[in-house]
Structure 1
Amino acid sequence: MTEKYNFLKPYTFKNGVTIKNRIVIPPMTEAAALENGAVSQDELRYFNIHTGGVGMFIIPTMNVSDNGKGFEGEPSVADDKFMPGLKKLANTVKQNGTKAILQIFHAGRMSNSKILRGVQPVSASAVAALRPNAETPCELTESEIEQIIEDFGQATRRAIQAGFDGIELHGANTYLMQQFFSPHSNRRSDKWGGSLENRMRFPLEVIKRVHAVVEKYADDKFIVGYRISPEEIEEPGIRLDDTLKFIDVLADQPINYLHVSMGYSWRTSLNDKSDAEPIILKVKKVVNNRLPLISVGSIEKPTDVEKIIDAGIDFAAIGRESIREPKWVQKVELGQENSIKYQMSLTELDELGVNSAFFDFLSAMNADLHLVGSDQPKDDFAENLGVVEGN
């Protein structure tokens, strides 16, 4: 029954790590950590319910620095004191062969002084985001930039020691790594800004530091991924040509996969409406088999996933549908596709491990959960809001 789907076949990275199938759960913020950033029991319960079927489960993003927190209920990997919870989390997700990948980030200007308890947010330059009530961040100094790069390295060390199978660097959804690449948020004239090459420097230095930590603390089976958003709608902002040039460089870095963050997997350019070629296929051409790709965005049914794989994309990430149906992969494997749930009821939240904080976060972001009897709008601008599918 399962042989008709190529997405159930395993994939082996160049470092020898085999992923049991081509299905990924992307990092979807659940806003359910303890106030101090420690992993909560509610989070562990949610992951326990939803893991075990997919090949890779990318854990929702954790901040690497105290001033990198982006929202309430966000878990942290910025201190060794969080190790007990991190170890429990890694152990919980690693069931039935599922690989546990921890996404790490710094929110940069996508935070505020309330979330940071009176501390002003930071970014590449003192330019506020074009969002309601956005605060103007402090421009990072050279030493502060170097410290954040080191923070990414130390977060990677903790992920290794906690037992995760890998980390994903969050270079998407308008957060700090993207802020350095963006001509909107980066107006610097030193080596960290200005030219395209200089705007690449911060994420490339983060990759370099992470790679050094992996070589020191892990074996060659540890996975390092990178997540990227292709475009911005701001002016000036990231345009697709610059992104493809950056991806060409990324493909030769010591990373194991590239995760392309979009609200719709077959999306075309936001800025050039005359360009009808899906962005993911443009990325595929540039990468040219140097890295495996993960595509995400409004993928729900087995036929949706198979279309991604048939196009030569290596992995498909199922976001909101994985919330509604924790046993999606298992049901496909057993030939029980007719029993897959594509809607959910408010009465099912507890059995799905979705606590009130998680649900409130999803609702605030207008995430379409296909609630029974709901007229909930679809989040057409999900990636620009830094929302599920995800964060």
Structure 2
Amino acid sequence: MVSYRFLNPYTFQSGVTVSNRVVVPPMTESMSFSDGAVTTDELHYFRIHSRGVGMYITPVANVNALGKGFEGELSVADDHCIPDLARVAQQIHANGTKAVLQIFSAGRMTNSAILRGQQPVSASAVAALRPDAETPRALTDAEVRATIADFGAATRRAIKAGFDGVELHGANTYLLQQFFSPHSNRRTDDWGGTLEKRMAFPLAVIAAAQAAIHEDAQNPFLLGYRFSPEEIEKPGIRIEDTLQLLAKLDTLNLDYLHMSMGNAWRTSLNNHNDPEPLLNKVLVVTHQTPLISVGGIETPEQADKVMAAGATFVALGRENLREPNWVQKVSNHTETTIRYKLAVTDLEELGIPESFFRYLANMERHGANIGFEPSLAKASEDEALNVIFN
């Protein structure tokens, strides 16, 4: 009988203990109200999909009004958000799972329509290399410092709402990454220029979150940091830059680092002559900080392989979407019943409402590989919705 590493409990340096090493990573579902308040559909979804795993990281919540990146996004920008966020934490805790709130500012990865007429902001006035991207305005020094304070205030609200931790979203081209990137950060002040100065903003945000935890948390509270290892922009972040950042983060007593990739074994996007997986390179420089690995992990064997390479945790994103009882089925030795495809007949059971299904269908069309079962993949959105919700 196989004994999987990911079923073992773990205690973080902060003192938080999780029942196993399986994590649900933050996945956008766009179910919140326009003001960032949580919906009943969203709470139902959290309750279903946090079953069995050791830790559930919520979809991202913005720390201030200019940080909103898309419609249907959670918010932690104001004290009025605390009661709703408390309901989120309660749903996750009902399954014996630790609840972590991911927090961010979208920076330039938004638009003036989403910001209700406001111009997006970033490290510098450089538009993202994507269709219809708006040119942001550069944050002033005072605004940079105010944004750092907003991350600290968001951490305090997460504590008050009953979460077990926060994850700082420094990945996927959002504001923390924008300050680290030589593409989006062309500043010449204390917040840009050299590699070390481009690290200054994320390091200051970490310090603000740590100060909030030290001052406000009465119980052990997690602090994690998510990062993307590379960019394809020129100039852009290269793996050598990220390894220097991670070496610094490894000294800061973070509870974990979370590597954001679509394939856990991906090699460099920029150096096609290097066959070494980026995961291996990252593990070399993160000696003290646990690492969460994610990307295309579906089967127990695939999860165990990632842990055997040195990752402390394995994250199931799309697979959790399809099979929220994954851990239970592995634990009960009923692995043959694990679902690896999303079927029309499963959507109601999985707590996937019409709005989220339309979002997933759009993602599938753009190559996200959600894993639709063939009959669902062939049906139009309206045809599928008629079967499910009528």
Q: Deviations over 1:62-92 (max 9, x none)?
A: 0001010000101100011111111110010
- In structure 1, give the amino acid aligned to 2:107: G
Q: Tell me how far apart the structure 2 counterparts of residues 87 and 19 of structure 1 sit (CA, whole Å).
A: 20
Q: Tell me how far apart the structure 1 counterparts of residues 241 and 154 of structure 2 sit (CA, whole Å).
A: 29
Would you say the 8 A contact 1:344–1:372 is kept in 2? yes
Aligned ranges 1:100-249 → 2 under 5 Å: 100-219=99-218, 221-249=220-248
Question: Is structure 2 residue 262 aligned with structure 1 residue 252?
Answer: no
The aligned residue for residue 92 of structure 2 is: 93
Would you say the 8 A contact 1:207–1:254 is kept in 2? no
Would you say the 8 A contact 1:15–1:220 is kept in 2? no
The aligned residue for residue 286 of structure 1 is: 285
Would you say the 8 A contact 2:124–2:137 is kept in 1? yes
- In structure 1, give the amino acid aligned to 2:303: V
Q: Unmatched 5+ residue regions in structure 1?
A: 378-391
The aligned residue for residue 360 of structure 1 is: 358
Question: Is structure 2 residue 299 aligned with structure 1 residue 298?
Answer: no
Q: Please report the TM-score for the alignment, with normalisation by the length of structure 1.
A: 0.94
**3-state SS of paired residue (2:258):** strand
Alpha-carbon shift at residue 359 of structure 1 (Å): 2.1
Q: Please report the TM-score for the alignment, with normalisation by the length of structure 2.
A: 0.94
Alpha-carbon shift at residue 375 of structure 1 (Å): 8.9
Q: Unmatched 5+ residue regions in structure 2?
A: 379-390
The aligned residue for residue 370 of structure 1 is: 371
- In structure 1, give the amino acid aligned to 2:91: T
**3-state SS of paired residue (1:248):** helix
- In structure 1, give the amino acid aligned to 2:79: D
The aligned residue for residue 344 of structure 1 is: 342
Question: Is structure 2 residue 334 aligned with structure 1 residue 333?
Answer: no
Q: Tell me how far apart the structure 2 counterparts of residues 220 and 356 of structure 1 sit (CA, whole Å).
A: 38
Higher relative contact order (CA 8 A, sep 6+): 1
Alpha-carbon shift at residue 376 of structure 1 (Å): 5.7
Would you say the 8 A contact 2:344–2:376 is kept in 1? no
Alpha-carbon shift at residue 354 of structure 1 (Å): 1.1
Alpha-carbon shift at residue 141 of structure 1 (Å): 0.3
Alpha-carbon shift at residue 365 of structure 1 (Å): 2.8
The aligned residue for residue 69 of structure 2 is: 70
Alpha-carbon shift at residue 374 of structure 1 (Å): 5.6
Q: Tell me how far apart the structure 2 counterparts of residues 145 and 365 of structure 1 sit (CA, whole Å).
A: 33
Q: Tell me how far apart the structure 2 counterparts of residues 375 and 125 of structure 1 sit (CA, whole Å).
A: 43
**3-state SS of paired residue (2:74):** coil
- In structure 1, give the amino acid aligned to 2:173: T
Would you say the 8 A contact 2:75–2:81 is kept in 1? yes
Alpha-carbon shift at residue 221 of structure 1 (Å): 1.2
The aligned residue for residue 385 of structure 1 is: none
The aligned residue for residue 382 of structure 1 is: none
The aligned residue for residue 44 of structure 1 is: 43
Q: Deviations over 1:75-117 (max 9, x none)?
A: 1000111111111100100134211000000000000001111
- In structure 2, give the amino acid aligned to 1:22: R
Alpha-carbon shift at residue 254 of structure 1 (Å): 3.4
Aligned ranges 1:252-271 → 2 under 5 Å: 252-271=251-270
Q: Deviations over 1:143-166 (max 9, x none)?
A: 111111111011100100000000
Alpha-carbon shift at residue 220 of structure 1 (Å): 5.9
Would you say the 8 A contact 2:185–2:198 is kept in 1? yes
Q: Percent identity?
A: 58
Query: Which 4+ runs in 1 deviate beyond 4 A?
Result: 374-377
CA shift in 2, pair 1:218/1:352, >3 Å: same
- In structure 1, give the amino acid aligned to 2:355: A
Q: Tell me how far apart the structure 1 counterparts of residues 43 and 301 of structure 2 sit (CA, whole Å).
A: 31
Alpha-carbon shift at residue 347 of structure 1 (Å): 3.0
The aligned residue for residue 382 of structure 2 is: none
Question: Is structure 2 residue 306 aligned with structure 1 residue 308?
Answer: yes
Would you say the 8 A contact 1:64–1:78 is kept in 2? yes
Would you say the 8 A contact 2:61–2:76 is kept in 1? yes
Q: Tell me how far apart the structure 1 counterparts of residues 166 and 16 of structure 2 sit (CA, whole Å).
A: 14
Moved more, 160-169 or 358-367: 358-367
CA RMSD of aligned residues (A): 1.4
* Matched residues, number: 375
